[in-house]
Amino acid sequence: MSNRISVQLFGITREIVGSSALTLDLPQPGQVGELLSNLKEQYPALTGLRSLLVAVNGEYAEADQPLHPNDEIALIPPVSGG
């Protein structure tokens, strides 16, 4: 059984992937850490980012947080400014 999820991409992550959103199948039940591993495998340039956070339903998520089909997931790239 798979867990189909939608991921919103912003900033450099959108440029690396070439799209503002992805739909992925993760094993059921999937976790944030598995999602990141899957994405870094498919898009090796993501491993070069010094930080990459994941938000699930508007809240920052830890690697062991479970993912569900209706979750709103976003990749938050590193930001700079001054």
More confident residue, 76 or 80: 76
Which pLDDT belongs to residue 80?
Answer: 66
Cα gap 38→80, rounded to integer Å? 26
Question: Could you state, in order of their start, the residue ranges of all structural domains in the chain?
Answer: 2-76
Residues 46-77 pLDDT 10s: 999 988 999 999 999 999 999 988 889 999 98
Report the DSSP pairing between strands 53-56 and 73-76.
antiparallel
CB 60 within 8 A of CB 52: no
Which pLDDT belongs to residue 81?
Answer: 60
CATH class of 2-76: alpha beta
Q: Rounded to 5 degrees, what are φ and ψ at 4?
A: -80, 125
